[in-house]
Each structure stands twice: as C-alpha cells, then as structure tokens.
C-alpha cells in the first residue's frame, strides 16, 4: 500500500519495549490511527523533538496488509502550541481535549468528516494557545468537540416530536440527547432543567467560528446549566470519567467528579436532576 502523507496530532503515547513507542495519532486522512514509531525511545535522531503532545506534525505512515499497527516512517514539526506546555490551565484542558478525541474520534470515515474533526482539533489548540481558558470556554470547547465527533445534542426543538419549545425551563433528556416538550415528558422521567436562554446560547456556540468562541457571553445561571448539560451528555456517551478530568476539575476549582450540584428545590429528585410531576 502506498505511503500516507498527512498532518497529524499526537493523542496518546505509550513506550513499547526497549526502544519503540506506540502512538495514537489524529490525522485528516485517517481519523484516529495507532502507529508504531520504531526507535522513537532510543534514538533522538530518528524523530528529533517531534512526537510530543501539542505539536502539529507532518507525517509519513505506512499501512501494511494484516498488520495491526501502521508504521510511522517520518515526522516533521509544523507548529508548536507552546503555551499549552507551560501554563497549567491550558495544559490541563489541552490534555483533556486530546483524551476526549482519543476516546471518541472515529478510525476512518467520510473524508469531509475527518477533515472537519482535524480542523476542530487544530482550532481548539490554537484557541487555547491564544486565550487563557475559564470554565465557560472549557464548556463550549467540550460541546464543540462532541459535535465535531458527530455527537450533537438537539437544542432547538423537542427531541421526540420536534415541536418548538415554548415553556421555560425545558427538561433536557440526556439519553435522548435533547429537550422534551411538556407533552412528551413522562411522569418520573429524569431530566435536567435548562432555561431556553441557555439552549439558545449553546446553539450559538455550535454555529460560531471556533476562534470567536471565547467572545460568547454566558451569565452565571446559563454557565451552570450548560456545564451540567455538557458534562452529563459527554459522560453518557463515554461511559466513564476521563483520566485528565479530575486534574482539570481541580485546576478549574470544581469539585472532583463533575460540576457542583445546584441547591435542591422542591421538585428535584437528585443533584441537578428533576423528575417531572
Ligand atoms: Zn415533544
């Protein structure tokens, strides 16, 4: 099979044996791909200073029939996202986004989707290099990451009957991935109470150019609701807590294991979750 020449980001890196390294790369040609980098541990000459996180690379890969791993033949540095290495909040959020991509990015797919996903990853690193992240930017980048991997929550209409939402707050049903109108909401069904304003703000976050995402304003209540919605939606699709999530939560001043529960109101069945009457 001919060699693949493409751009790449390192998502994960594991030492293998005395001298080799196994990497998970994200590329716009293949999606996520596992590669063997022969001699990457022993010889600094073979891949000098390139195979690190937060580097944009140009690589040459060989995919051989029946081999489980592709081979990384060559890697050249195109761009270093410097500030992600030296500032803890940028580093922690960068690591978290790479881990999210490593969990959910597809191995192969339609060319246009793979290009879009790779462009998202580059734009996200570019944004983190330029802007010091806060909880708002983290939440919006997570939403955009899920969207780039084909996991876009419904935000405009009832996810079951497509009726427009008029009552506030809406009940967001995490397994169905969208809000429910009053007619579709079954008694006792757990939903997140989310204001229509929050849903509209998240819709704007999905439509904005990623480099302008940091300008989107969320008030305190919208941020709390968005945080809960994105965290629960992400957790539902991944099924576990990412390793880098606790570190990031700690750096951002969140209690470990997710956003703070809101004060329990009379209709709440649990932290941040309410049951319909
Ligand atoms: Zn409905």
Domain ranges of the chain: 4-86, 134-275
CATH of 134-275, one of 3.40.1350, 1.25.40, 1.20.1440, 3.40.50: 1.20.1440
Strand partners, 4: 61
Q: Assess contact for 165 and 196: CB atoms under 8 A.
A: yes
State the distance from the centre of ligand 1 to the C-alpha of 222, rounded, in angstroms.
23
Total residues belonging to the chain: 277
State the distance from the centre of ligand 1 to the C-alpha of 12, rounded, in angstroms.
41
**4-86 topology per CATH:** OB fold (Dihydrolipoamide Acetyltransferase, E2P) (2.40.50)
Strand partners, 193: 171
State the distance from the centre of ligand 1 to the C-alpha of 176, rounded, in angstroms.
12
Of 253, 268, 264, 252, whose CA–CA distance to 191 is shortest?
A: 268
State the distance from the centre of ligand 1 to the C-alpha of 273, rounded, in angstroms.
19
- Using alpha carbons only, what angle is made at residue 98 by residues 66 and 75, rounded to the nearest 5 degrees? 55
Give the pLDDT score at 76.
Answer: 94
In tens digits, the chain (277 residues) has pLDDT values of 679 999 999 999 999 998 999 999 999 999 999 999 998 987 777 788 899 999 999 999 999 888 889 999 999 999 999 999 999 999 999 999 999 999 999 999 999 999 999 999 999 999 999 999 999 999 999 999 999 999 999 999 999 999 998 866 789 999 999 999 988 999 899 999 999 999 999 999 999 999 899 889 999 999 999 999 999 999 999 988 899 999 999 998 887 655 544 443 333 333 333 333 3
Per the listing, tokens 């339609």 go with 110
State the distance from the centre of ligand 1 to the C-alpha of 159, rounded, in angstroms.
7
- Spatial distance between the Cα atoms of 95 and 245, rounded to a whole number of angstroms: 9
Give the pLDDT score at 168.
Answer: 65
Give the pLDDT score at 31.
Answer: 96
Give the pLDDT score at 259.
Answer: 53
State the distance from the centre of ligand 1 to the C-alpha of 40, rounded, in angstroms.
55
Give the pLDDT score at 29.
Answer: 96
State the distance from the centre of ligand 1 to the C-alpha of 117, rounded, in angstroms.
31
How many other β-carbons are positioned within 10 Å of the β-carbon of residue 114?
21
Helix (H) or strand (E) holding 275: strand 273-275
């Amino acid at each position: 099979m001919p060699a693949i020449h493409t751009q790449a980001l390192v998502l994960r890196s594991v030492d293998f044996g005395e001298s080799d390294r196994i990497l998970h790369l994200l590329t716009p040609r293949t999606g996520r791909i596992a590669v063997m980098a022969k001699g990457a541990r022993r010889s600094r000459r073979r891949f000098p200073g390139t195979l690190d996180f937060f580097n944009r690379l140009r690589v040459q890969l060989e995919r051989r029939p029946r081999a489980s791993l592709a081979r990384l033949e060559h890697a050249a540095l195109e761009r270093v996202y410097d500030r992600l290495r030296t500032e803890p909040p940028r580093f922690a959020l960068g690591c978290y986004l790479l881990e999210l991509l490593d969990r959910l990015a597809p191995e192969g797919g339609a060319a246009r989707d793979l290009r879009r996903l790779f462009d998202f990853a580059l734009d996200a690193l570019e944004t983190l290099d330029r802007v010091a992240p806060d909880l708002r930017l983290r939440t919006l980048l997570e939403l955009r990451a899920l969207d780039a991997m084909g996991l876009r929550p419904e935000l405009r209409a009832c996810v079951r009957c497509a009726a427009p939402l008029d009552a506030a707050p809406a009940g967001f049903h995490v397994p169905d991935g969208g809000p429910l109108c009053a007619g579709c909401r079954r008694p006792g069904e757990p939903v997140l109470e989310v204001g229509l304003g929050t849903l509209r703000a998240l819709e704007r976050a999905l439509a904005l150019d990623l480099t302008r995402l940091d300008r989107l304003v969320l008030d305190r209540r919208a941020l709390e609701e968005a945080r809960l919605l994105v965290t629960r939606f992400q957790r539902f699709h991944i099924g576990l807590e990412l390793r880098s999530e606790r570190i990031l939560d700690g750096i951002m001043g969140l209690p470990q294991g997710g956003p703070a529960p809101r004060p329990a109101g009379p209709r709440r069945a649990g932290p941040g979750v309410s049951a319909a009457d």
